[in-house]
């Protein structure tokens, strides 16, 4: 009889363990997060020694203690696929993989969310029961719980004509714990990796700016708080009109927030604005000049199908504004050149010594016009003159004294770099239409306060003038409407009055010296106000707030509040009012009960209607109603067509003037039975020819 004696351990152990979230799923790098409840492990096979008995398989341990020996410990694993006699291994697989998809492979405890790592320890075992002395180990983390999504997203308002002009934002930053406000994303185990979005569907590929090879997905990193779409990624998914943005959170393990919490927002696309070619630019002639005299020309822009270019706008030293309304309104900064693509040599505004940039943008003939501040071309020219530069960093601010109706505009700036002959003074020009400017002041300082006649829209520009009385080209115009700010709240003109008081409603009115919003605090104890504070955001001088869902016969404490347009809040003294008592019925009697009828008499107070509900059970089912006087009186209602000898339930319900119903207590009465003949005797009556009953 031949047999093999094998007392040597296997020659090589398993190596290069790989983890997948499931069989055929995404691979999880060592030391990273997995979301797979049904993990799949593979490894490179070990080998037995040349004269050995051959490999039987591999002893496994899965758990959170790295030092555990798979020879005697299996950790979280369940029933072993093979159980050779004489082996101490608690869990053995015969192949170079472990597919933990079946519940039998799981122990009583299994993978749970944890910030501590899990370990798979593997040792090769041969057919003689010899085991490789050391473990090959794979470390990973587990998080199987979905993250919490943000509570909202905020798409930019407006009607955009270029995908790159769109944007949307969300609450930030994410946390590892639930946020007090509840508005930001959070994930308590693996942490928030970032966010994903789609336009107009959730059926396609979820998009992002960064690709995770470990999770095989795209995402916006958690460091971002806003996103600007790009044509290559998003252009095919954006359509003309309203576009729905879908937004979700993803954690470091690849779990994403639930479908029910996907946030949405709407952003509008009007159609593509006119565009220039990639190599197009503005040509300035001459490119360098000692005097401020330059001619401009540019190539034609291309409008979208069905549209034509309606106008070209050019501007100096300042890129196109965010909105078409601003482009069209500020005619002293953004110059409408019509459909012409050239400008004859002339002095240009906002030009300084050295390099200057010209911007050109086009709009089409759609209504409203399609305009994109991103679709511009530029050209550069050099001014080599002795004229002083324009001032820099011009800022307008409102310095009005509102309560005196004194409208003031404060202008501040920094001195120009090149000052010509020096000895600079600054000429302040003002306009009401952005075209016709009038000098309103001169100063040698770097600030000026201009008093305007009205609280209206004004445009300002400044010219630098040197000691030789040489003027700069003038700044671009800035606009402002001086309005000032109130610093105290309006005063009470009429104290709060509560009227229209019923059982559950009341109306609070008051008036203030100028407009403000309206709010009422109220509750059933002094200073103890309910969380509900009825309000109206309209700025009014006569204030009306309706209170509802009050309790009958209750004393309420209340204050009124009002906040003006500048955030100043006034508060009244506390007052009280009492709601009307609930109607009720009393002195209820059941009279004149017969075999088929009964009469119910009662007294009511504060009721406009009384109803007798009656029936053979406490669900009643029948009723008789009548109008009543709220001042109180006694009434009788007759009930007919009753069944003889029957117990009836009855209650009286009352209603107030607002139709609120109040049900009374249950009463019973029994109708009389129909009389019956009993003990009938037949006998002859003297004097009658026949028997009589």
Is residue 693 over pLDDT 50?
Answer: no
CA 441, chain centre distance (Å): 48
Per-residue pLDDT tens for 50-64? 989 999 999 999 999
Domains in the chain (CATH in brackets) are: 15-142 (2.60.40.10), 154-269 (2.60.40), 283-383 (2.60.40), 392-480 (2.60.40.10), 492-578 (2.60.40.10), 584-670 (2.60.40.10)
Cα–Cα distance list, 239 to 159, 245, 322, 418, 584 (Å): 12, 12, 21, 50, 63
Residue from 407, 414, 409, 422 nearest 475 by CA: 414
Per-residue pLDDT tens for 20-49? 999 999 999 999 999 999 999 999 999 999
The pTM assigned to this predicted structure is 0.69
pLDDT at res. 685:
61
Q: Distance (Å, rounded) from C-alpha 273 to C-alpha 271? A: 6
- Decide: 316 and 349 in contact? Cβ < 8 Å: yes
Q: Which residues pair with 141 in a beta bridge?
A: 33
Q: Distance (Å, rounded) from C-alpha 497 to C-alpha 533? A: 17
Number of C-beta neighbours around residue 294 at 10 A = 25
Q: Distance (Å, rounded) from C-alpha 313 to C-alpha 330? A: 11
Cα–Cα distance list, 48 to 16, 128, 296, 682 (Å): 18, 10, 84, 122
Read off the pLDDT band of 691 (50, 70, 90): low
Q: Distance (Å, rounded) from C-alpha 98 to C-alpha 109? A: 18
Q: What is the Cα gyration radius of the chain?
A: 44
Q: Taking the alpha carbons of 540, 542, 546, 552 in that order, is the dihedral positive or negative?
A: positive
SS3 at position 494: strand
pLDDT at res. 478:
96
Is the bond into 286 cis (omega within 30 degrees of 0)?
A: yes
pLDDT at res. 635:
94
Q: Taking the alpha carbons of 327, 332, 334, 335 in that order, is the dihedral positive or negative?
A: positive
Which DSSP helix (H) or strand (E) runs through 13? none
Is residue 648 over pLDDT 60?
Answer: yes
Q: Taking the alpha carbons of 438, 439, 441, 447 in that order, is the dihedral positive or negative?
A: positive
Compute the C-alpha angle 213/216/221, nearest 5°. Answer: 75
**7: exposed, middle or buried (Cβ count in 10 Å: 0-12, 13-18, 19+):** exposed
pLDDT at res. 6:
84
pLDDT at res. 266:
98
- Decide: 166 and 374 in contact? Cβ < 8 Å: no
Is residue 680 over pLDDT 90?
Answer: no
Q: Distance (Å, rounded) from C-alpha 487 to C-alpha 352? A: 41
- Decide: 549 and 504 in contact? Cβ < 8 Å: yes
Contacts of 71 by beta carbon, 8 Å cutoff, 6+ apart: 59, 88, 89, 123, 131
Cα–Cα distance list, 661 to 554, 582, 610 (Å): 17, 9, 9
Q: Which residues pair with 505 in a beta bridge?
A: none
Is residue 692 over pLDDT 60?
Answer: no
Number of alpha carbons in the 13 Å side-chain half-sphere of residue 88: 8
pLDDT at res. 143:
98
Q: Distance (Å, rounded) from C-alpha 277 to C-alpha 254? A: 41
Residue from 58, 54, 136 nearest 97 by CA: 58
Tokens representing 452 are 């305007």
% of the chain beyond a pLDDT of 90: 92
Cα–Cα distance list, 647 to 599, 612, 637, 642 (Å): 15, 16, 18, 10
Residue from 114, 135, 138 nearest 40 by CA: 138
- Decide: 393 and 425 in contact? Cβ < 8 Å: no
Compute the C-alpha angle 314/316/320, nearest 5°. Answer: 60
Q: Distance (Å, rounded) from C-alpha 45 to C-alpha 55? A: 10
Read off the pLDDT band of 651 (50, 70, 90): very high
- Decide: 178 and 148 in contact? Cβ < 8 Å: yes
Residue from 211, 201, 256 nearest 234 by CA: 201
Number of C-beta neighbours around residue 457 at 10 A = 14
- Decide: 198 and 246 in contact? Cβ < 8 Å: yes
pLDDT at res. 31:
97
Q: Distance (Å, rounded) from C-alpha 323 to C-alpha 161? A: 10
Per-residue pLDDT tens for 134-185? 999 999 999 999 999 999 999 999 999 999 999 999 999 999 987 666 899 9
- Decide: 482 and 452 in contact? Cβ < 8 Å: yes
User: Which comes out higher in pLDDT, residue 119 or 684?
Assistant: 119
Read off the pLDDT band of 96 (50, 70, 90): very high
Q: Taking the alpha carbons of 131, 135, 138, 139 in that order, is the dihedral positive or negative?
A: positive
Per-residue pLDDT tens for 260-318? 999 999 999 999 999 999 999 999 999 999 999 999 999 999 999 999 999 999 999 99
Q: Which residue has the tokens 């204050």?
A: 559
Cα–Cα distance list, 472 to 353, 419, 428, 462 (Å): 10, 9, 12, 9
Across all residues in the chain, what is the average pLDDT?
94
Range 62-85 burial, b when 16+ CB lie within 10 A, else e: bbeeeebebbebbbbbbebbeeee
Per-residue pLDDT tens for 252-261? 999 999 999 9
Q: Distance (Å, rounded) from C-alpha 386 to C-alpha 470? A: 8
Tokens representing 31 are 């030391």
Count of positions (residues) in the chain: 693
Q: Distance (Å, rounded) from C-alpha 693 to C-alpha 676? A: 15
Per-residue pLDDT tens for 533-558? 999 999 999 999 999 999 999 999 99
Residue from 607, 622, 604, 614 nearest 655 by CA: 607
Which DSSP helix (H) or strand (E) runs through 311? strand 309-316
Per-residue pLDDT tens for 394-428? 999 999 999 899 999 999 999 999 999 999 999 99
């Amino acid at each position: 009889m031949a047999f093999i004696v094998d007392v040597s351990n296997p020659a090589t152990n398993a190596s290069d363990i790989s983890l997948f979230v499931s069989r055929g799923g995404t691979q999880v790098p060592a030391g990273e997060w997995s979301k797979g409840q049904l993990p799949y492990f593979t490894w490179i096979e070990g080998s037995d020694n040349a004269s050995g008995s051959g490999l039987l398989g591999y002893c496994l341990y899965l758990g959170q203690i790295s030092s555990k020996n798979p020879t005697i410990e299996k950790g979280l694993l369940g029933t072993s696929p093979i159980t050779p006699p004489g082996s101490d291994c608690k869990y053995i697989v015969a192949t170079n993989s472990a597919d933990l998809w079946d519940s039998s492979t799981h122990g009583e405890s299994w993978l749970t969310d944890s910030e501590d790592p899990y370990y798979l320890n593997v040792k090769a075992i041969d057919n003689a029961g010899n085991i490789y002395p050391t473990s090959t180990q794979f470390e990973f983390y587990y998080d199987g719980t979905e993250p919490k999504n943000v509570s909202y997203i905020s798409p930019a308002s407006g009607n955009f004509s270029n995908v790159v002009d769109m944007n949307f934002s969300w609450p930030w930053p994410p946390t590892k714990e639930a946020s007090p406000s509840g508005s930001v994303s959070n994930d308590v185990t693996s942490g928030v990796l970032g966010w994903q979005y789609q336009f107009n569907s959730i059926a396609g590929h979820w998009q992002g700016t960064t690709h995770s090879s470990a999770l095989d997905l795209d995402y916006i990193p958690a460091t971002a708080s806003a996103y600007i779409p790009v044509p290559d990624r998003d252009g095919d998914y954006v359509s003309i009109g309203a576009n729905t943005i879908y937004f979700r959170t993803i954690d470091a393990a690849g779990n994403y927030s639930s479908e029910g919490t996907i946030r949405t927002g709407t952003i509008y696309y009007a159609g593509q604005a006119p565009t220039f070619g990639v190599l197009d630019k503005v040509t300035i002639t001459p490119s360098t000049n000692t005097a401020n005299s330059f001619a401009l020309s540019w190539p034609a822009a291309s409008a979208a199908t069905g549209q034509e270019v309606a106008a070209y706008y050019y501007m100096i030293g300042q890129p196109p504004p965010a909105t078409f309304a601003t482009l069209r309104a500020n005619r002293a900064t953004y110059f409408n050149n019509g459909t012409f693509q050239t400008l004859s040599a002339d002095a240009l505004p906002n030009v300084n010594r050295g390099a200057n940039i010209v911007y050109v943008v086009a709009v089409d003939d759609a209504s409203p016009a399609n305009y994109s501040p991103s679709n511009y071309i530029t050209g550069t020219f050099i001014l080599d003159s002795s004229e002083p530069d324009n001032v820099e960093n011009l800022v307008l601010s409102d310095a009005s004294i509102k309560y005196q109706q004194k409208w003031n505009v404060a202008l501040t700036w920094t001195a120009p770099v090149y000052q010509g002959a020096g000895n600079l003074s600054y000429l302040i020009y003002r306009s009401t239409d952005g075209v016709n400017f009038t000098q309103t002041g001169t100063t040698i300082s770097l600030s000026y306060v201009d008093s305007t006649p009205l609280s209206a829209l004004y445009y300002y520009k400044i010219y630098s003038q040197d000691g030789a009385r040489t003027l700069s080209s003038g700044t671009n115009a800035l606009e402002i409407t001086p309005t000032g700010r109130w610093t105290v709240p309006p005063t009470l003109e009429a104290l709060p009055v509560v009227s229209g008081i019923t059982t559950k409603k009341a109306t609070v009115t008051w008036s203030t010296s100028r407009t403000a919003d309206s709010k009422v605090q109220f509750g059933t104890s002094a200073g103890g106000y309910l969380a509900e504070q009825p309000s109206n955001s309209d700025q009014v001088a006569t204030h009306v707030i309706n209170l509802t869902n009050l309790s009958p016969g209750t004393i309420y404490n209340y204050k009124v509040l009002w906040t003006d347009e500048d955030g100043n809040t006034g508060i009244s003294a506390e007052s009280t009012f009492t709601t009307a008592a609930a109607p009720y019925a009393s002195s209820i009697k059941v009279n004149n009960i017969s075999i088929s009828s009964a009469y119910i008499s009662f007294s009511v107070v504060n009721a406009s209607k009384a109803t007798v509900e009656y029936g053979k059970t406490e669900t009643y089912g029948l009723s008789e109603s009548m109008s009543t006087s709220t001042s109180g009186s006694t009434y009788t209602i007759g009930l007919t067509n009753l069944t003889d000898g029957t117990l009836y339930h009855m209650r009286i319900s009352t209603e107030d003037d607002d139709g609120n119903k109040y049900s009374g207590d249950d009463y019973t009465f029994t109708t009389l039975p129909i009389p019956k003949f009993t003990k009938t005797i037949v006998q002859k009556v003297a004097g009658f020819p026949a028997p009589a009953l």
